Structure 1
Amino acid sequence: MTRVLNYIDAHLDQPLELAQLADVANFSRFHFHRIFHAWMGETLGDYLRRRRLEKAAFRLSCGPVESVLETALATGFGSGEAFARAFKTKFGCTPTEWRRDTPQRLAAQAPGRHSNPDQLLGNPDQAGQPLMRDDDVSNNTTGNLTMEVVITDLPAIRVAYFRHIGPYGPGITSFWRTVVAPWMQSRGLDAPLCIGIGYDDPSMTPADKCRYDACVALPEDFTDTGAADVTTLPGGRYARAAFTGQPAGIADAWTWMTRNWLPSSGLQCDDRPCLEIFRPETAVDPVTGAMRCDLCIPVRPL
């Protein structure tokens, strides 16, 4: 099923038929629709429509370069009219209004609302801002929050991953502890690089549908993955900030990066995933309970 969901996201601009996806999953074509509904809690058609519209909303929020029709075609809609009708039904506004209101929507998001967000929405009013160079650092403060943001290039990395579907928050910590950590110990991976990826924005995606991948970097010669799936995370340019604080504060840090830092950076995020990078042995202070990780947003020029 994870292969199917990944395949869908990589091919949202193309027709996706039940038989085709059943073959990706190696499931019976006759039973696949029933299995998908039982696993995901929604029909295949409803899932495809929701993911296409959520992806379109993200693309529209990234800036004015792409036309509404181009967004419609890039997310699998056959016409701009069909896309506009479906978009307004789901979000209550036209695609043009959604794009126009992105800055106000981000400003209205309450701190602490997001944990492990999707690539949260570039600002279409960034034109004319200077671009940051390699290793440029921005020191920013909002209230008690101070973070340094560095623009850096990350390499592609091969990982084993387990997927969690459900609300972000405490359930993610439990997932790492009860599912991922025992797997790491059984494979002798004592201190690997770990990466958390939240793919969905809870302001658009129902909490029980939010997807999160718990990823563990693999040595080059590692083959015994057992129950884990394997993929290669794309490298490229990222805005990277070190977070240290109580776990509840990480949502505020993500909100600050996307709502405060990004609009003034002269950059916008692209459709690679946001990352939380950490090492298990240093991720949590055993005395204070403070969490330490790097928050990474994929960026590109406007």
Structure 2
Amino acid sequence: MNLEIEEIKQLRIAYIRKIGPYGEENYTTMKKIKTWAKDNNLFNDDLIILGIAEDNPAVTKPEECRYDTCAIIAEDYHVNDNAVSEGRIVGGRYAVFKVEHTAEAVQKAWSCIFEEISNHGCNMDGTRPIIERYKVGMVNSGYCEICVPIV
């Protein structure tokens, strides 16, 4: 698996939060942010959508787990939708894995990314969430990325 180290800057986001067990409903939330982006003329090959599991299901009850689907927005963009919140992603160093955009490939990646990070002499930064990054142009080519914060 290919790992690249990237410095991700602080990002401004528009997001929709789902609270409950991770799984199929995450896809529904992802569709909602895509629809919102299309309705607001933001959906193009440059759009970057993020999926962020805010909680570790090993220590957080499934019904309390938060999942945010986000669209990166410009600093001067104003969100005019009560169902969509505004926020920021903290920047920093990330181990970035390019993965085929299939359920099987993503699941396989999740099973080995932490070992790969360790093999590269890096340590995960538990103060920042892991980010699934979907660049529209990259997704159209069949890929997505998993970005793990590192120190």
TM-score between both structures, scaled by the size of structure 1: 0.45
Amino acid at match of 1:276: E
The one-character-per-residue Cα deviations of 1:229-276 (angstroms, maximum 9, x if unpaired) are 111211111111101142243132122111x21232222111111111
Q: Secondary structure at the match of 2:59?
A: coil
- Give 1:224 shift: 3.1
Structure 1 portions without partners, runs of 5+: 1-146, 286-290
Which residue is 1:295 aligned to? 146
- Give 1:284 shift: 5.5
Which residue is 2:106 aligned to? 250
**Structure-2 change in CA distance of 1:251 and 1:210 (3 Å):** farther
Alpha carbons 2:17, 2:66 under 8 Å: kept: yes
Q: Distance in 1 between matches of 2:25 and 2:137?
A: 20
1:162 aligns with 2:13: no
Q: Distance in 2 between matches of 1:232 and 1:201?
A: 20
Alpha carbons 2:101, 2:144 under 8 Å: kept: no
Q: Distance in 1 between matches of 2:134 and 2:5?
A: 18
Which residue is 1:268 aligned to? 123
Structure 2 portions without partners, runs of 5+: none
- Give 1:194 shift: 0.8
Which residue is 2:79 aligned to? 224
How many correspondences in the alignment?
147
The one-character-per-residue Cα deviations of 1:49-108 (angstroms, maximum 9, x if unpaired) are xxxxxxxxxxxxxxxxxxxxxxxxxxxxxxxxxxxxxxxxxxxxxxxxxxxxxxxxxxxx
- Higher share of residues assigned helix: 1
Alpha carbons 1:194, 1:216 under 8 Å: kept: yes
**Structure-2 change in CA distance of 1:264 and 1:281 (3 Å):** closer
- Give 1:173 shift: 1.1
Which residue is 2:30 aligned to? 176
Q: Distance in 2 between matches of 1:149 and 1:164?
A: 29
Q: Distance in 2 between matches of 1:225 and 1:154?
A: 27
Q: Which of 1 and 2 has greater Rg?
A: 1
Alpha carbons 1:187, 1:224 under 8 Å: kept: no
Alpha carbons 1:160, 1:225 under 8 Å: kept: no
Select 1:190's aligned residue among 39, 43, 47: 43
Which residue is 1:77 aligned to? none
Q: Distance in 2 between matches of 1:199 and 1:283?
A: 23
Q: Secondary structure at the match of 1:269?
A: coil
Give me the identity figure in percent. 27
Alpha carbons 2:101, 2:139 under 8 Å: kept: no
Q: Secondary structure at the match of 2:150?
A: strand
Amino acid at match of 1:209: E
1:201 aligns with 2:52: no
